[in-house]
Amino acid sequence: MQYDVILIGSGFGSLTAAALLAKKGLKVVVLEQAKYPGGCASSYKRKGYWFETGATTLVGLDEHMPLRHLLNETGIELPLIKLQTPMQVHLPDGQLLTRYGNLEAWIKEAERVFGAKGQRPFWQHCYRVSQQVWRTSLEQRSFPFSNVRDLWQAIQQFRPHQSSLLPGAFRTMQNLLRRYDLLDNKLFTDFVNEQLLITAQNHLEEVNELFGATALCYTLFGNYYVEGGMIGLARALELYLHSKGSTILYRHHVNKIIPKAEGYETSCMAGNYHARFVISGIPLNDTYLLFQDDKVRQKLKPYLLPSEKLNGAFTMAIALRKVPAIPVLHHQVHVPEGLPLIGSKSCFVSYSHPADEFRAKAGERVVAISTHVPDPAALRIDDKRQLQEAILAKMEALGLLNRADILYLDAATPGAWIFWTQRAYGMVGGYPQYRDIKPWQMKDARLDHKGAYVCGDTVYPGQGIVGVCLSGIISANKLLRDHF
């Protein structure tokens, strides 16, 4: 069957681009190696329960944010529950910190826990930056620039408020904390570092102010739970694709992308597919191996990151008979002594909603736990039990679960992530933010300036569902501007 666009992988960047292109009348096919859509932000069924691939929360639905733009453009409706309280953080000193969704309530909580010095102006500044970043990101859909037309469109879309963001690209979060005299507040710097690790995959000395301020403020925007699990997000886009005459083909593992005289051919065990355009929604490391063009690979090589600059994950999926009276679904648990084998100093915990009887029966809950594994290719976890026991002991000590209530438990190392997702090194969260890589130096959506494009969490703007949604918007936008 002839298609206009082939998309590699069904991560949320690919699905976003596919939906927007299908809306314009293009016939698209998404080739997915797994049996479920969604990539790293999905769900899977085991022993009658629906588990998340990792602990996660959903943002991006506020005005001027990418996911809201996608839904407005397509009319897609999602099965969402808005969370009144986005998250709680169990700090190293034993305090419980509540990340309120209201700015004033959050500032008062931050002052209560960390002390009044510097907190109010710091958070007001971060929130102002985050609002401007999201607004600008949708206004400047030609960024990063890779041809003259991009630059011309950027000039046309320029608004005075955008210029105030530029200095933040040259400052790190460490600089920002120093500005507000917060660097000596160890409890606060520990909190910031572990929060940035969730959203930016790195620490305050490496993350630039634009990304860092936005990442720290994600709880100050609408946070949502997807009924039935994160797979509901991907399924909603899949239904939209079908309604437009397009589709997702599962168990289609692409091993080559071959440029042809007209268009591109993808080679799979299930057969070959040809289209005028191709969009790779998988990481750049994997795209580099697939794309059969030496000139393109040579240009792509400087953007690739080795394992020592990436993170993998250790994850746990737990089904519980019951859960203690915990009103907040998402928790970050600090482990100041570091977890055994991997040294990670925090883990992220997500509970299913008590009203969600699709993922677990009435009276039961499922829990996703994830923690970072630095340089995953260099670290082999031969015995998961030691790490598993350390996390369970911490959870039980904090009253987050009782071991006697565990009905099912499974744990996965970065090796399992390689098996599930086929991502190089079992990488999660995309490329971490680094201070020597400015936003305009991140990989642009164009792969060969002919008909091949990229999106996902290793290109601009980076990590998270809302980030990869923006990458999909940009990729679709550039393809349509370049050729239609």
132: its two tokens: 């401007």
pLDDT of 55: 63
> What is the C-alpha to C-alpha distance for residues 446 and 310, in angstroms, rounded to an integer?
23
Closest to 208 measured CA to CA, from 126, 138, 118, 304: 126
Q: Flag whether 85 is in a domain.
A: no
Q: Domain count of the chain?
A: 3
Same domain? 296 vs 441: yes
Cβ atoms of residues 365 and 352 within 8 Å: yes
Q: Which domain holds residue 472?
A: 3-45+59-78+226-305+431-483
Computed over every residue of the chain, the mean pLDDT equals 94
Same domain? 128 vs 20: no
Quick check: 444 pLDDT over 90? yes
Q: Flag whether 201 is in a domain.
A: yes
Q: What is the SS3 assignment for 313?
A: strand
Same domain? 436 vs 299: yes
Q: Around Cβ 111, how many Cβ atoms within 10 Å?
A: 15
Same domain? 154 vs 288: no
Same domain? 209 vs 350: no
Q: Around Cβ 362, how many Cβ atoms within 10 Å?
A: 7
The secondary structure of 385-408, three-state, reads HHHHHHHHHHHHHCCCCCHHHEEE
Q: Flag whether 293 is in a domain.
A: yes
Q: Flag whether 68 is in a domain.
A: yes
Same domain? 25 vs 162: no
Q: Got the DSSP string for 245-283?
A: T-EEESS--EEEEEE-SSSEEEEETTEEEEEEEEEE-S-
267: its two tokens: 């080679």
Model confidence band, residue 184 (pLDDT cutoffs 50, 70, 90): very high
pLDDT digits (tens, 9 = 90+) for 22-55: 999 999 999 999 999 998 888 889 999 999 987 6
Same domain? 20 vs 163: no
Q: What is the SS3 assignment for 145?
A: coil
Quick check: 161 pLDDT over 90? no
Torsions phi, psi of 266, nearest 5?
Answer: -110, 135
Model confidence band, residue 171 (pLDDT cutoffs 50, 70, 90): very high
pLDDT digits (tens, 9 = 90+) for 448-460: 999 999 999 999 9
402: its two tokens: 């009782």
Using CA of residue 278, residue 281, residue 282, residue 283, what is the dihedral sign?
Answer: positive
Same domain? 211 vs 232: no
Q: Flag whether 54 is in a domain.
A: no
Q: What is the CATH number of the domain that holds 392?
A: 3.30.70
Cβ atoms of residues 29 and 3 within 8 Å: yes
Output the CA–CA distances (angstroms, integers) from residue 483 to 58, 146, 258, 426, in the order listed: 33, 15, 20, 35
Q: Got the DSSP string for 4-40?
A: EEEEE--BHHHHHHHHHHHHTT--EEEE-SSSSSBTT
- Domain ends where: 426, 446, 472? 426
Percent of the chain with pLDDT over 90: 89
Cβ atoms of residues 287 and 300 within 8 Å: yes
Same domain? 336 vs 295: no
pLDDT of 415: 85
Output the CA–CA distances (angstroms, integers) from residue 91 to 70, 83, 269, 313, in the order listed: 36, 22, 49, 21
The amino acid present at 455, given as its one-letter code, is C
pLDDT digits (tens, 9 = 90+) for 366-396: 999 999 999 999 988 888 999 999 999 999 9
Closest to 39 measured CA to CA, from 395, 384, 420, 371: 420
pLDDT of 419: 82
Same domain? 193 vs 118: yes
Closest to 236 measured CA to CA, from 474, 469, 6: 469
- Domain ends where: 426, 447, 474? 426
- Domain ends where: 426, 441, 460? 426
User: Tokens 């710097």 map to which residue?
Assistant: 189
User: Please, how many CA atoms are within 13 Å of residue 228, restricted to the half-sphere of its CB?
Assistant: 9
What is the maximal distance between C-alpha atoms in the chain?
65
Using CA of residue 210, residue 212, residue 215, residue 217, what is the dihedral sign?
Answer: negative
Q: How far apart are the first and last CA of the chain?
A: 22
Q: What is the CATH number of the domain that holds 279?
A: 3.50.50.60
**Torsion of the alpha carbons at 250, 270, 23 and 144, rounded to the nearest 10:** 90
Q: Which of 17-31, 80-94, 307-321, 407-421 bottoms out in mean pLDDT, i.e. has the lowest?
A: 407-421
Mean pLDDT value across residues 156-169: 91
Quick check: 151 pLDDT over 70? yes
Same domain? 231 vs 176: no
Q: Flag whether 237 is in a domain.
A: yes
> What is the C-alpha to C-alpha distance for residues 371 and 351, in angstroms, rounded to an integer?
15
pLDDT digits (tens, 9 = 90+) for 76-116: 999 999 999 999 999 999 999 999 999 999 999 999 999 99
Verify cis geometry, omega within 30 degrees of 0, for the bond prior to 79. no
Closest to 14 measured CA to CA, from 207, 238, 224, 215: 238
- Residue 160 is given by DSSP the state G
160: its two tokens: 């005075």
Quick check: 201 pLDDT over 70? yes
Q: Flag whether 87 is in a domain.
A: no
pLDDT digits (tens, 9 = 90+) for 3-29: 999 999 999 999 999 999 999 999 999
Model confidence band, residue 422 (pLDDT cutoffs 50, 70, 90): confident
Same domain? 288 vs 436: yes
Q: Flag whether 347 is in a domain.
A: yes
pLDDT of 1: 66
